Amino acid sequence: MDGQFGARGFEGAAPVPTSGGLPSHAPVEPIGAVLEIAGSSSQVLLDPEALHALGGNPDPTIANAGQVGSQVKVRVGATWLIANVRSLKLQGEHIAAYIDFLGEGDEERLTGKLYKFRRGVTRYPTPGAPVFPVSTADLKQIYAAEDRAHVEIGTVYPTRDIRAALYVDSMLGKHFALLGSTGTGKSTATALILHRICEMAPQSHVVMIDPHGEYASAFKTTGALYDVGNLQMPYWLMNFEEHCEVFLTTSGSDRQVDADILAKCVLAAKQKNRLAAEIGKLTVDAPIPYLLSDLTQILQLEMGKMDKATDTAPYLRIRSKIDEIKGDPRYAFMFSGMLVADTMASFLARVFRLPGDGKPISIIDVSGVPSEITSVVVAVLSRMVFDFAIWSRGESKRPILLVCEEAHRYVPNERNADGSSVGRILSRIAKEGRKYGVSLGLITQRPSDLAEGVLSQCGTILSMRLNNERDQAFVRAAMPEGARGFLDSIPALRNRECIAVGEGVATPIRLLFDSLEDAKRPASDDPLFSELWRDTGGEEQILERTIRRWRAQGK
Task: Say which range, 5-9, 118-122, 215-219, 480-484, has the weakest mean pLDDT.
Answer: 5-9
pLDDT at 519: 80
pLDDT at 193: 93
Burial of 120 (0-12, 13-18, 19+ CB in 10 A): exposed
Q: Higher-confidence residue: 490 or 172? A: 172
Return the DSSP state at 537.
S
pLDDT at 4: 46
pLDDT at 91: 87
Flag whether pLDDT at 178 surpasses 90: yes
Residues 50 and 32 sit within 8 Å (Cβ to Cβ)? yes
Residue 553: pLDDT band with limits 50, 70, 90: low
Helix axis angle, 309-327 relative to 252-271, nearest 10°?
70
- Domains in the chain, please, with CATH? 32-143 (no CATH), 172-232+341-524 (3.40.50.300), 237-331 (no CATH)
319-354 pLDDT, tens digit each: 899 899 888 888 888 888 777 778 888 888 888 888
pLDDT at 138: 82
**Order of strands, sheet of 163-167, starting from the edge strand that comes earlier in the sequence:** 163-167, 150-156, 509-513, 497-502, 460-463, 176-179, 438-444, 400-405, 206-210, 361-365, 223-226
pLDDT at 531: 78
Residue 484: pLDDT band with limits 50, 70, 90: low
- Omega before residue 15 within 30° of 0, cis: yes
360-401 pLDDT, tens digit each: 899 999 988 888 888 899 999 999 999 998 888 878 888 899
Q: Higher-confidence residue: 21 or 224? A: 224
pLDDT at 310: 64
Give the 3-state secondary structure of 367-402: CCCCHHHHHHHHHHHHHHHHHHHHHCECECCCCEEE
Provide the whole-model pTM.
0.83
Q: Kindly state the average pLDDT of the residues 153-167.
A: 85
Flag whether pLDDT at 490 surpasses 50: yes
pLDDT at 2: 44
pLDDT at 1: 43
Residue type, 470: R
182-193 pLDDT, tens digit each: 888 888 999 999
Q: What is the mean pLDDT of the chain?
A: 83
pLDDT at 416: 65
Q: Higher-confidence residue: 7 or 388? A: 388
Residue 40: pLDDT band with limits 50, 70, 90: low
Residues 427 and 414 sit within 8 Å (Cβ to Cβ)? no
Residues 95 and 24 sit within 8 Å (Cβ to Cβ)? no
- Omega before residue 491 within 30° of 0, cis: no
Flag whether pLDDT at 403 surpasses 90: yes
Residues 106 and 116 sit within 8 Å (Cβ to Cβ)? yes
The dihedral over CA atoms of 426, 428, 433, 439, expressed in degrees to the nearest 10, equals: 20
438-481 pLDDT, tens digit each: 999 999 998 888 887 788 888 899 999 888 888 888 888 877 66
Residue 51: pLDDT band with limits 50, 70, 90: confident
pLDDT at 481: 60
Q: Kindly state the average pLDDT of the residues 206-220.
A: 89
pLDDT at 442: 92
Residues 77 and 109 sit within 8 Å (Cβ to Cβ)? no
pLDDT at 363: 92
Q: Higher-confidence residue: 237 or 119? A: 237
Q: Kindly state the average pLDDT of the residues 305-321.
A: 80
